[in-house]
Every structure is written in structure tokens, then in C-alpha cells.
């Protein structure tokens, strides 16, 4: 696994030192998505603000893989889609028969939007038009593929109805640009670099969902919510596009030291402006969004912070 370490900027220490030095790995996703820059920004916060702790952001296959990394202790923190986290925690869906009971949440940090991209010249104007086409559904083991499959199956479309390709974000953008596939799925915080780059070289169109398609998806996956991709988000995107979103969760093991979990949660919410400077998705990193969106139990260290700031915690969010 390739590991990228973000540069450490000198700053004053904002929290009490830990009892022993902690070397932390943060499982993110591919470099063309939001997880990697967001995870790198979080690593920088930890390095700068928590004495005795250092962190690196790792490139991974994203949500599904990340749950296994935390469960095995190969990563200390991980970013993953809420539906994937819930399935791992409860032993359902892709984790049927292998419940990862030690998964806990520090926070829900921002929503992912499902973005379906095609070239402006293509005849793909709806998800029904994907039938018979060659379509990237996301990298193997990614939350994008889980979301794509759930959305499509909720609307009567299966992988038998088109030619699925399992490509990461950058590969999907390249394949659309080169005409090797007709459309691709992203489940990521908008805007994302791989679509931004594609839109600078080719005219693209984002495929919207109808009210009925969104309702069908929400019936199948309650963590889905309606979401509007604003006009002007990408070059050539003249109108807003209706889609669905899914919260992203910052997950850890229940075995993480309580003080460390508390300090990371505190830094996350009290230095959010530094994350926003790295990626605009962090505008949604708020205590309110976290407690309204997290589908599993919080780590006791995170709970301690939420209780300090007076947040209302749901019963299912307590271990």
C-alpha cells in the first residue's frame, strides 16, 4: 500500500500531550476523490495540534477496504460512506456473516453526492439510458460501487443490463474522455478533482435523477438523501442537477485510546477552517451534521466531546 505523508507546519500545541507517542494511519481513497485531500488535511491537524501524535494519509480502495483495515488494526482511522459503515457494524449487506463489532465513529464529516457523468454529446440522459452501455461503477471495494448498485437495483437496473467496469475515479475520467466507456459513477464530495479535470478537456453532462428514482433509492437505503448539485459546479454545467447523497463517517476501532479519540474529535471541529482551506467539502463538517447523520455508535472519546459542547446524542449512537 502506497503511503503519502503530508508536510508538517509548525504551530502551537492546542491539546494535552498523550501518554505515549502515537503513529497513526488514516485510510482514505484514491487521489482523484475527496477522501485523500480531506484525510491529508486531518493528518496535518493531528500533526500540528496533538502533542505526541503524528499521522499519515494512505491511498486505499476506499470504504469497504477501509472498514477491514480498521477492524484488523492496519489503519487507525478511516473515511467511509455511512451505508458501508453501518453494514460493517451490523454485519449486513456486503458484510453479511462477518460483523465488524469493533467499528466506532468519531464523526460524520460531510455528505457524498452520487455524480453520474457522461460526455455532452452522448445519448445518456437518464439512468434508464445506461442499459446496453459500458459504464464504470467505481473501484472494487469502494463505496461508489455500493451506492451505484443500490441506486440502480432500486430502480430495476442490474449489472446484467449493461457492461460494468470497476474503475477508480481517475481511471473513470480517462475512460470517458477517451471514449472507452459511455458513463461513470462517482460517490464523492463535490466538486472532485477528477471530474474538474475531465471538464477542462471535454464537454460533459451530469445525469440527473427523477423524484421517483430518488424515492426508490431512499426506500432501499434509508441513509440516502435528496441532494442538488449546484449549477456551475463543473465547467459547462449550466443547470442544477438532482441526485442523492450519503454521509461520510470518520471511523476508528473501539480499542483506540479514549483520550486520543477525544483530542482528534475536538481538533476536527475546532480547526475546521483549516480543512475548508484544503477542500470545500469540509464546510459541512459540523457537530450538528455529525450527530444528525452518524448511523452507528460513537467512540467514548468522541461522546465525551459531544457532551461537552451540549450536542444531543441518539440512543443508537451510544456504545
Query: pLDDT tens for residues 276-316?
Result: 999 889 999 999 999 988 999 999 999 999 999 999 999 99
pLDDT at 2: 39
Percent of the chain having pLDDT more than 70?
A: 93
pLDDT at 17: 55
Which of these ranges, 8-22, 183-197, 215-229, has the smallest mean pLDDT? 8-22
Span 107-143, pLDDT tens digits:
999 998 999 999 999 999 999 999 999 999 999 878 8
pLDDT at 7: 33
Q: Which residues pair with 77 in a beta bridge?
A: 26, 252
pLDDT at 49: 97
> Which residue is it, cell 423524484?
211
pLDDT at 141: 78
What is the mean pLDDT of the segment spanning 254-265? 98
Q: Ramachandran region of residue 174, left (φ > 0), alpha (ψ -120 to 50) or beta? A: alpha
pLDDT at 93: 85
pLDDT at 6 over 60: no
pLDDT at 5: 35
Q: Where are the alpha helices (DSSP H) in the chain?
A: 35-49, 63-72, 82-90, 143-154, 169-178, 193-201, 211-220, 258-270, 272-278, 287-293, 300-308
pLDDT at 12 over 70: no
Phi/psi at 198 (5° precision): -60, -40
What is the mean pLDDT of the segment spanning 43-47? 97
pLDDT at 225: 84
Q: How far apart are the first and last CA of the chain?
A: 32
pLDDT band at 66 (very low <50, low <70, confident <90, very high): very high
The overall average pLDDT reported for the chain is 92
pLDDT band at 16 (very low <50, low <70, confident <90, very high): low
Domains, the chain: 3-7+15-111+248-317 (3.40.190.10), 112-246 (3.40.190.10)
pLDDT at 153 over 80: yes
pLDDT at 19: 53
Q: Is the peptide bond before 54 cis (omega within 30 degrees of 0)?
A: no
pLDDT at 143: 84
pLDDT band at 20 (very low <50, low <70, confident <90, very high): low
Span 74-99, pLDDT tens digits:
999 999 999 899 999 999 988 999 99
Span 219-258, pLDDT tens digits:
998 889 888 999 999 999 999 999 999 999 999 999 999 9
Amino acid at each position: 500500500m502506497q503511503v503519502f505523508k503530508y508536510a508538517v507546519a509548525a504551530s502551537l500545541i492546542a491539546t494535552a500531550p498523550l501518554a505515549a507517542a502515537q503513529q497513526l494511519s488514516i485510510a482514505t481513497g484514491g487521489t482523484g476523490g475527496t477522501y485523500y485531500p480531506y484525510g491529508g488535511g486531518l493528518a496535518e491537524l493531528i500533526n500540528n495540534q496533538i502533542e505526541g501524535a503524528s499521522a499519515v494519509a494512505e491511498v486505499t480502495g476506499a470504504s469497504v477496504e477501509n472498514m477491514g483495515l480498521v477492524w484488523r488494526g492496519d489503519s487507525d482511522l478511516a473515511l467511509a460512506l455511512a451505508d458501508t459503515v453501518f453494514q460493517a457494524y451490523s454485519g449486513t449487506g456486503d458484510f453479511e456473516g462477518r460483523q465488524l463489532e469493533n467499528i466506532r465513529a468519531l464523526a460524520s464529516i460531510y455528505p457524498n453526492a452520487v455524480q453520474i457523468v457522461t460526455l455532452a454529446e452522448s445519448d445518456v440522459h437518464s439512468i434508464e439510458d445506461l442499459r446496453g452501455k459500458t459504464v464504470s461503477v467505481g473501484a472494487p471495494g469502494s463505496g461508489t460501487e455500493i451506492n451505484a448498485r443500490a441506486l440502480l437495483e432500486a430502480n430495476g437496473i442490474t449489472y446484467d443490463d449493461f457492461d460494468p467496469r470497476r474503475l477508480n475515479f481517475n481511471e473513470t475520467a480517462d475512460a470517458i474522455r477517451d471514449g472507452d466507456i459511455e458513463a461513470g459513477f462517482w460517490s464523492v464530495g463535490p466538486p472532485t478533482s477528477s471530474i474538474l479535470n475531465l471538464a477542462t478537456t471535454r464537454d460533459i453532462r451530469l445525469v440527473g435523477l427523477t423524484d421517483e428514482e430518488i424515492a426508490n433509492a431512499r426506500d432501499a437505503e434509508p441513509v440516502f438523501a435528496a441532494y442538488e448539485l449546484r449549477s456551475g459546479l463543473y465547467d459547462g454545467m449550466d443547470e442544477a442537477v438532482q441526485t442523492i447523497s450519503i454521509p461520510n463517517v470518520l471511523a476508528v476501532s473501539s480499542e483506540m485510546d479514549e483520550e486520543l479519540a477525544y483530542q482528534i474529535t475536538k481538533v476536527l471541529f475546532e480547526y475546521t477552517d483549516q480543512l475548508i482551506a484544503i477542500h470545500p467539502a469540509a464546510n459541512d463538517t459540523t457537530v450538528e451534521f455529525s450527530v444528525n447523520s452518524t448511523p452507528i455508535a460513537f467512540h467514548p472519546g468522541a461522546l465525551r466531546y459531544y457532551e461537552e459542547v451540549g450536542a444531543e446524542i441518539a440512543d443508537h449512537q451510544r456504545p
